[in-house]
Amino acid sequence: MIRERYVNAALLAGLLAVPLYALLVDEPFTITLATRAVILALAAVGLNIALGWGGLVSFGHAAFFGIGGYSMGILAFHAQNFMPLDLGFMVFDGTKSMPVIWLVAIITSALAAFLIGLLSLRTSGVYFIMITLAFAQMFYYFAISWSRYGGEDGISIYIRNDFPGLNTLVPIQFFGICFAALVLALWLNARLVASPFGLALNAARQVPVRVQTVGLDPTRLKLVAFVISGAITGLAGALFADLNRFVSPSMFSWHLSGELIVLIILGGVGRLMGPVLGAVLFVALEHFLGGLTTHWHIALGAILLGVVLFARGGVIGLLCGPKGQS
Protein backbone atom coordinates (compact mmCIF):
# COMPACT_ATOMS: atom_id res chain seq x y z
CA MET A 1 0.00 0.00 0.00
CA ILE A 2 1.18 3.48 -0.83
CA ARG A 3 1.05 6.13 1.83
CA GLU A 4 -1.85 8.48 1.33
CA ARG A 5 0.39 11.51 1.76
CA TYR A 6 2.46 10.54 -1.30
CA VAL A 7 -0.61 9.90 -3.41
CA ASN A 8 -1.98 13.28 -2.39
CA ALA A 9 1.22 15.10 -3.23
CA ALA A 10 1.55 13.32 -6.58
CA LEU A 11 -2.03 14.15 -7.43
CA LEU A 12 -1.64 17.86 -6.73
CA ALA A 13 1.66 17.98 -8.58
CA GLY A 14 0.13 16.20 -11.56
CA LEU A 15 -2.86 18.52 -11.55
CA LEU A 16 -0.47 21.44 -11.74
CA ALA A 17 1.90 19.84 -14.24
CA VAL A 18 -0.66 18.90 -16.89
CA PRO A 19 -1.82 22.44 -17.68
CA LEU A 20 1.73 23.75 -17.53
CA TYR A 21 2.75 21.15 -20.08
CA ALA A 22 -0.31 22.03 -22.14
CA LEU A 23 0.80 25.65 -22.04
CA LEU A 24 4.19 24.62 -23.34
CA VAL A 25 2.83 22.65 -26.28
CA ASP A 26 0.05 25.21 -26.90
CA GLU A 27 -2.99 23.05 -26.14
CA PRO A 28 -5.22 25.59 -24.40
CA PHE A 29 -8.18 23.25 -24.26
CA THR A 30 -6.34 20.86 -21.99
CA ILE A 31 -5.96 23.76 -19.59
CA THR A 32 -9.70 24.43 -19.77
CA LEU A 33 -10.34 20.76 -19.08
CA ALA A 34 -8.01 20.83 -16.09
CA THR A 35 -9.74 23.97 -14.84
CA ARG A 36 -13.06 22.20 -15.06
CA ALA A 37 -11.68 19.28 -13.05
CA VAL A 38 -10.27 21.64 -10.43
CA ILE A 39 -13.59 23.48 -10.02
CA LEU A 40 -15.62 20.28 -9.78
CA ALA A 41 -13.05 19.04 -7.26
CA LEU A 42 -13.54 22.21 -5.23
CA ALA A 43 -17.31 21.71 -5.21
CA ALA A 44 -16.84 18.10 -4.14
CA VAL A 45 -14.31 19.06 -1.45
CA GLY A 46 -17.06 21.23 -0.05
CA LEU A 47 -19.58 18.40 -0.14
CA ASN A 48 -17.04 16.01 1.35
CA ILE A 49 -16.89 18.08 4.53
CA ALA A 50 -20.60 17.47 5.09
CA LEU A 51 -20.69 13.98 3.62
CA GLY A 52 -17.34 12.47 4.52
CA TRP A 53 -16.82 13.93 7.97
CA GLY A 54 -20.30 14.96 9.01
CA GLY A 55 -22.02 11.88 7.56
CA LEU A 56 -24.60 14.14 5.91
CA VAL A 57 -25.53 12.61 2.57
CA SER A 58 -26.74 15.76 0.86
CA PHE A 59 -28.45 15.09 -2.45
CA GLY A 60 -29.01 18.79 -2.84
CA HIS A 61 -25.61 20.42 -3.00
CA ALA A 62 -26.48 21.65 -6.46
CA ALA A 63 -28.47 24.28 -4.58
CA PHE A 64 -25.27 25.88 -3.31
CA PHE A 65 -23.40 25.36 -6.57
CA GLY A 66 -26.24 27.12 -8.34
CA ILE A 67 -26.48 29.93 -5.80
CA GLY A 68 -22.77 30.56 -6.28
CA GLY A 69 -23.28 30.52 -10.03
CA TYR A 70 -26.21 32.89 -9.93
CA SER A 71 -24.33 35.23 -7.57
CA MET A 72 -21.79 35.60 -10.34
CA GLY A 73 -24.42 35.69 -13.08
CA ILE A 74 -26.59 38.35 -11.50
CA LEU A 75 -23.79 40.64 -10.37
CA ALA A 76 -21.99 40.48 -13.70
CA PHE A 77 -25.24 40.75 -15.66
CA HIS A 78 -26.05 44.08 -14.05
CA ALA A 79 -22.51 45.30 -14.50
CA GLN A 80 -22.23 44.32 -18.17
CA ASN A 81 -25.63 45.77 -19.10
CA PHE A 82 -25.19 48.92 -17.00
CA MET A 83 -28.48 48.22 -15.24
CA PRO A 84 -28.19 49.02 -11.55
CA LEU A 85 -29.65 46.40 -9.24
CA ASP A 86 -32.27 47.91 -6.97
CA LEU A 87 -32.28 45.95 -3.74
CA GLY A 88 -34.95 48.10 -2.13
CA PHE A 89 -32.74 49.40 0.60
CA MET A 90 -29.83 50.22 -1.70
CA VAL A 91 -28.94 50.43 -5.37
CA PHE A 92 -25.98 48.40 -6.55
CA ASP A 93 -24.27 48.64 -9.92
CA GLY A 94 -23.32 44.99 -10.06
CA THR A 95 -19.69 44.09 -10.39
CA LYS A 96 -17.20 42.31 -12.61
CA SER A 97 -14.70 41.86 -9.80
CA MET A 98 -14.08 38.23 -8.89
CA PRO A 99 -13.19 38.79 -5.22
CA VAL A 100 -16.44 40.69 -4.62
CA ILE A 101 -18.41 38.05 -6.49
CA TRP A 102 -16.78 35.27 -4.48
CA LEU A 103 -17.60 37.01 -1.24
CA VAL A 104 -21.24 37.35 -2.25
CA ALA A 105 -21.31 33.73 -3.45
CA ILE A 106 -19.85 32.45 -0.19
CA ILE A 107 -22.15 34.51 2.01
CA THR A 108 -25.35 33.73 0.12
CA SER A 109 -24.65 30.02 -0.16
CA ALA A 110 -23.64 29.83 3.50
CA LEU A 111 -26.89 31.55 4.41
CA ALA A 112 -28.88 29.14 2.26
CA ALA A 113 -26.98 26.19 3.75
CA PHE A 114 -27.81 27.46 7.22
CA LEU A 115 -31.54 27.61 6.49
CA ILE A 116 -31.67 24.34 4.55
CA GLY A 117 -29.50 22.61 7.14
CA LEU A 118 -31.57 23.91 10.05
CA LEU A 119 -34.72 22.37 8.59
CA SER A 120 -33.17 19.25 7.06
CA LEU A 121 -31.23 18.20 10.16
CA ARG A 122 -34.53 17.43 11.85
CA THR A 123 -34.46 14.30 9.73
CA SER A 124 -31.80 11.67 9.14
CA GLY A 125 -30.88 8.82 6.82
CA VAL A 126 -32.84 8.53 3.60
CA TYR A 127 -35.16 11.29 4.73
CA PHE A 128 -32.23 13.67 4.90
CA ILE A 129 -31.13 12.64 1.41
CA MET A 130 -34.59 13.36 0.07
CA ILE A 131 -35.31 16.61 1.87
CA THR A 132 -32.06 18.13 0.66
CA LEU A 133 -33.01 17.02 -2.85
CA ALA A 134 -36.38 18.71 -2.39
CA PHE A 135 -34.80 22.03 -1.48
CA ALA A 136 -32.49 21.91 -4.48
CA GLN A 137 -35.45 21.13 -6.75
CA MET A 138 -37.26 24.18 -5.41
CA PHE A 139 -34.31 26.35 -6.43
CA TYR A 140 -34.20 24.60 -9.80
CA TYR A 141 -37.82 25.30 -10.62
CA PHE A 142 -37.57 28.80 -9.26
CA ALA A 143 -34.57 29.55 -11.51
CA ILE A 144 -36.35 28.10 -14.55
CA SER A 145 -39.22 30.50 -14.20
CA TRP A 146 -37.18 33.48 -13.05
CA SER A 147 -37.57 35.28 -16.36
CA ARG A 148 -35.71 38.37 -15.20
CA TYR A 149 -32.50 36.38 -15.28
CA GLY A 150 -33.18 34.36 -18.39
CA GLY A 151 -35.21 31.53 -16.90
CA GLU A 152 -34.29 28.26 -18.57
CA ASP A 153 -31.98 30.12 -20.98
CA GLY A 154 -29.79 31.36 -18.17
CA ILE A 155 -27.48 34.35 -18.34
CA SER A 156 -24.54 34.76 -20.70
CA ILE A 157 -21.65 36.85 -19.47
CA TYR A 158 -19.67 37.85 -22.52
CA ILE A 159 -16.35 38.53 -20.89
CA ARG A 160 -14.89 36.70 -17.92
CA ASN A 161 -14.81 38.71 -14.69
CA ASP A 162 -11.69 40.50 -13.50
CA PHE A 163 -9.14 39.61 -10.90
CA PRO A 164 -6.73 42.36 -9.84
CA GLY A 165 -3.39 42.00 -11.59
CA LEU A 166 -4.36 39.05 -13.79
CA ASN A 167 -5.82 38.59 -17.24
CA THR A 168 -8.48 36.03 -16.50
CA LEU A 169 -9.18 35.42 -20.19
CA VAL A 170 -5.83 33.68 -20.51
CA PRO A 171 -6.69 30.05 -19.69
CA ILE A 172 -3.61 29.36 -17.59
CA GLN A 173 -4.16 32.43 -15.43
CA PHE A 174 -7.74 31.49 -14.72
CA PHE A 175 -6.57 27.97 -13.99
CA GLY A 176 -4.12 29.43 -11.48
CA ILE A 177 -6.91 31.24 -9.66
CA CYS A 178 -9.03 28.10 -9.44
CA PHE A 179 -6.10 25.93 -8.42
CA ALA A 180 -5.23 28.37 -5.65
CA ALA A 181 -8.83 28.26 -4.43
CA LEU A 182 -8.73 24.46 -4.41
CA VAL A 183 -5.45 24.33 -2.49
CA LEU A 184 -6.81 26.83 0.00
CA ALA A 185 -9.96 24.76 0.47
CA LEU A 186 -7.90 21.58 0.94
CA TRP A 187 -5.71 23.33 3.49
CA LEU A 188 -8.82 24.55 5.28
CA ASN A 189 -10.26 21.05 5.13
CA ALA A 190 -7.11 19.51 6.60
CA ARG A 191 -6.99 22.07 9.41
CA LEU A 192 -10.67 21.57 10.10
CA VAL A 193 -10.33 17.82 10.40
CA ALA A 194 -7.50 18.11 12.90
CA SER A 195 -9.19 20.85 14.94
CA PRO A 196 -11.34 20.46 18.06
CA PHE A 197 -14.35 21.03 15.83
CA GLY A 198 -13.17 18.29 13.48
CA LEU A 199 -12.74 15.83 16.34
CA ALA A 200 -16.23 16.53 17.62
CA LEU A 201 -17.76 16.40 14.12
CA ASN A 202 -16.05 13.12 13.36
CA ALA A 203 -17.51 11.65 16.53
CA ALA A 204 -20.90 13.18 15.82
CA ARG A 205 -21.00 11.22 12.56
CA GLN A 206 -20.08 7.91 14.19
CA VAL A 207 -21.82 8.08 17.58
CA PRO A 208 -24.02 11.14 18.02
CA VAL A 209 -25.25 9.86 21.36
CA ARG A 210 -21.70 9.82 22.72
CA VAL A 211 -21.20 13.41 21.65
CA GLN A 212 -24.32 14.35 23.58
CA THR A 213 -23.16 12.60 26.72
CA VAL A 214 -19.96 14.62 26.76
CA GLY A 215 -22.06 17.76 26.69
CA LEU A 216 -21.91 18.73 23.01
CA ASP A 217 -24.78 19.10 20.56
CA PRO A 218 -24.20 16.89 17.49
CA THR A 219 -26.89 18.62 15.46
CA ARG A 220 -25.21 21.98 15.89
CA LEU A 221 -21.85 20.52 14.94
CA LYS A 222 -23.38 19.04 11.80
CA LEU A 223 -25.15 22.28 10.98
CA VAL A 224 -21.90 24.22 11.12
CA ALA A 225 -20.23 21.59 8.93
CA PHE A 226 -23.12 21.86 6.48
CA VAL A 227 -22.75 25.64 6.31
CA ILE A 228 -18.99 25.47 5.69
CA SER A 229 -19.64 22.76 3.12
CA GLY A 230 -22.29 24.81 1.33
CA ALA A 231 -20.10 27.90 1.29
CA ILE A 232 -17.21 26.07 -0.40
CA THR A 233 -19.52 24.49 -2.97
CA GLY A 234 -21.01 27.95 -3.55
CA LEU A 235 -17.58 29.37 -4.29
CA ALA A 236 -17.01 26.54 -6.74
CA GLY A 237 -20.30 27.46 -8.41
CA ALA A 238 -19.13 31.05 -8.91
CA LEU A 239 -15.88 29.83 -10.47
CA PHE A 240 -17.72 27.33 -12.66
CA ALA A 241 -19.95 30.13 -13.93
CA ASP A 242 -16.86 32.16 -14.76
CA LEU A 243 -15.24 29.21 -16.52
CA ASN A 244 -18.25 28.87 -18.81
CA ARG A 245 -19.07 32.58 -18.77
CA PHE A 246 -22.62 31.33 -18.43
CA VAL A 247 -25.15 30.42 -15.73
CA SER A 248 -28.32 28.41 -16.12
CA PRO A 249 -30.77 26.44 -14.00
CA SER A 250 -28.93 23.25 -14.93
CA MET A 251 -26.46 24.22 -12.21
CA PHE A 252 -29.30 23.47 -9.76
CA SER A 253 -30.28 20.13 -11.30
CA TRP A 254 -30.32 16.90 -9.32
CA HIS A 255 -27.93 15.39 -11.86
CA LEU A 256 -25.32 17.79 -10.61
CA SER A 257 -25.95 16.87 -6.97
CA GLY A 258 -25.64 13.23 -7.99
CA GLU A 259 -22.47 13.89 -9.93
CA LEU A 260 -20.81 15.56 -6.93
CA ILE A 261 -21.63 12.51 -4.80
CA VAL A 262 -20.27 10.26 -7.56
CA LEU A 263 -16.99 12.21 -7.63
CA ILE A 264 -16.54 11.70 -3.90
CA ILE A 265 -17.34 7.99 -3.86
CA LEU A 266 -15.18 7.44 -6.91
CA GLY A 267 -12.20 9.07 -5.20
CA GLY A 268 -12.88 8.02 -1.61
CA VAL A 269 -15.37 9.25 0.98
CA GLY A 270 -13.91 11.22 3.87
CA ARG A 271 -10.44 11.24 2.33
CA LEU A 272 -8.88 14.65 1.94
CA MET A 273 -8.02 14.18 -1.73
CA GLY A 274 -10.86 11.79 -2.55
CA PRO A 275 -12.95 14.44 -4.32
CA VAL A 276 -9.93 15.72 -6.24
CA LEU A 277 -9.00 12.30 -7.56
CA GLY A 278 -12.66 11.62 -8.30
CA ALA A 279 -13.05 14.84 -10.27
CA VAL A 280 -9.86 14.29 -12.25
CA LEU A 281 -10.88 10.74 -13.14
CA PHE A 282 -14.42 11.79 -14.00
CA VAL A 283 -13.39 14.62 -16.31
CA ALA A 284 -10.76 12.42 -17.93
CA LEU A 285 -13.27 9.60 -18.48
CA GLU A 286 -15.84 12.02 -19.84
CA HIS A 287 -13.30 13.44 -22.24
CA PHE A 288 -11.68 10.26 -23.49
CA LEU A 289 -14.70 7.96 -23.49
CA GLY A 290 -16.80 10.73 -25.02
CA GLY A 291 -14.25 11.00 -27.79
CA LEU A 292 -14.52 7.29 -28.57
CA THR A 293 -18.28 6.76 -28.87
CA THR A 294 -21.56 8.58 -28.32
CA HIS A 295 -22.61 5.64 -26.19
CA TRP A 296 -19.89 6.32 -23.64
CA HIS A 297 -22.39 6.43 -20.80
CA ILE A 298 -22.47 2.63 -20.86
CA ALA A 299 -18.75 2.46 -20.28
CA LEU A 300 -18.93 5.12 -17.59
CA GLY A 301 -21.71 3.21 -15.85
CA ALA A 302 -19.71 -0.01 -15.97
CA ILE A 303 -16.65 1.69 -14.52
CA LEU A 304 -18.65 3.25 -11.68
CA LEU A 305 -20.25 -0.12 -10.95
CA GLY A 306 -16.82 -1.69 -10.85
CA VAL A 307 -15.66 0.87 -8.31
CA VAL A 308 -18.63 0.22 -6.03
CA LEU A 309 -18.39 -3.55 -6.27
CA PHE A 310 -14.67 -4.07 -6.27
CA ALA A 311 -13.04 -0.97 -4.85
CA ARG A 312 -14.91 -0.08 -1.68
CA GLY A 313 -13.43 3.09 -0.33
CA GLY A 314 -12.92 4.51 -3.80
CA VAL A 315 -9.70 4.70 -5.77
CA ILE A 316 -7.79 6.23 -2.85
CA GLY A 317 -8.96 3.30 -0.73
CA LEU A 318 -7.71 0.97 -3.46
CA LEU A 319 -4.30 2.66 -3.52
CA CYS A 320 -3.77 3.41 0.14
CA GLY A 321 -5.93 0.94 2.03
CA PRO A 322 -8.86 1.73 4.31
CA LYS A 323 -9.13 5.03 6.06
CA GLY A 324 -7.06 5.55 9.17
CA GLN A 325 -4.50 2.83 8.42
CA SER A 326 -1.72 4.85 6.97
Partner 1 sequence: MTDTVLETRGITKSFGSLCASDGISIDLQAGEIHAVIGPNGAGKSTLIHQICGGLRPDAGQVLLQGQDVTALPTAARARKGLGRTFQISALAMEDSVLENVMLGALGASGRPWRFFVPVMGDRTLRDRATAALERVGLQDALHSRTAALSHGQRRQLEVAVALTLDPRAFVMDEPMAGLGAEGSKTLTGFLDGLRDQAPILLVEHDMDAVFALADRISVLVYGRIIATGTVDEIRRDPAVREAYLGDPA
Partner 2 sequence: MKKLLLTTALAALATGAQAEVKVGMITTLSGGGAGLGLDVRDGFLLALAQSGRDDIELVVEDDQQKPDIAVQVADKMIQSERVDVMTGIIFSNLAMAVIPSAVNQGVVYLSPNAGPSQLAGRGCHPNYFNVAWQNDNLHEAAGAYANTAGYSNSFILAPNYPAGQDALTGYKRMYEGELAGEIYTQLGQTDYAAEIAQIRASGADSVFFFLPGGMGISFLKQYADSGVDIPVVGPAFSFDQGILQAVGAAALGVVNTAQWSKDIDIPVNQAFVESFQAEFGRLPSLYASQGFDTANLLISALEKADPSDNDAFRAALREADFDSTRGEFRFGNNQHPIQTIYAREVVQEGDVFTNRIIGVALEDHADAYAAECQMP
Partner 3 sequence: MSTILIIEQVLNGLQSGVMLFLMAAGLTLIFGVMGLINLAHGSLYMVGAFAAAAVAGVTGSFLLAVLAALAAAAAAGVLVETLVIRRLYAADHLDQVLATFALILIFSEGTRLIFGSFPLYLDIPSWLSGPVTLPGGIQYPLYRLALIGVGLVVAMLLWALIERTRIGIQIRAGENDREMIAALGVDISKLYTLVFALGAALAGLAGALVGAIQSVQVGMGEPVLILAFVTIVIGGIGSIKGAFVGAILVGLTQTLGSVFLPVLFRLFLDPATAMSLGASLANMAVYILMSLVLIFRPTGLMGARA
Contacting positions for partner 1 (CB under 8 A): 191-192, 194-200, 202-203, 206-207, 209-217, 221, 224, 323-324
Kindly indicate which of the ranges 80-88, 124-132, 235-243, 317-325 contains the residues binding partner 3, using the contact rule CB under 8 A: 124-132
Given the rule CB under 8 A, which of 6-14, 64-72, 156-164, 296-304 is the region that contacts partner 3?
296-304
Contact partner at residue 23 from partner 2, partner 1, partner 3, none, CB < 5 to 8 Å by partner kind: none
- CA 234 to chain CA mean position, Å: 7
DSSP 72: H
Length of the chain (residues): 326
Angle of helix 254-267 versus helix 62-80 axis, rounded to 10: 120
Query: Using the rule CB under 8 A, which residue among 26, 88, 147, 291 binds partner 3?
Result: 147
In the complex, minimum distance from the CB of residue 211 to partner 2, in angstroms, rounded to a whole number: 39
Residue 199 near which of partner 3, partner 2, partner 1, none (CB within 5-8 Å, type-dependent): partner 1
Residues in 153-212 that interact with partner 3 by CB under 8 A: none
Task: Decide if 169 contacts 104 (C-beta within 8 A).
Answer: no
Burial of residue 164, with CB atoms counted within 10 A of its CB: 0-12 exposed, 13-18 middle, 19 or more buried: exposed
* Residue pair 75/241 in contact by the 8 Å Cβ criterion: no
In the DSSP assignment, the letter for residue 162 is: B
CB 266 within 8 A of CB 281: yes
Residue 5 interaction partner, one of partner 1, partner 2, partner 3, none, beta carbon < 5-8 Å per kind: none
Task: Tell me the CA distances in angstroms from 241 to 33, 159, 182, 245, one per residue in order.
Answer: 14, 11, 16, 5
Mask 8-47, x = binds partner 3 (CB under 8 A)? ----------------------------------------
Q: Where are the beta strands (DSSP E) in the chain?
A: 85-86, 91-92, 155-156, 246-247
Q: CB neighbours (10 Å) of residue 85?
A: 15
Binding site for partner 2 (CB under 8 A): 27-30, 32-33, 36, 141, 144-145, 147, 150-154, 156, 158, 171, 240, 244-246, 248, 250-251, 290, 294-295, 297
In sequence order, the β-bridge partners of residue 247 are 155
Which residues sit at the interface with partner 3, rule CB under 8 A? 51, 57, 59, 119-120, 122-127, 129-131, 133-135, 137-138, 141-142, 144-147, 254, 258, 261-262, 265-266, 269, 295-298, 300-305, 307-309, 312
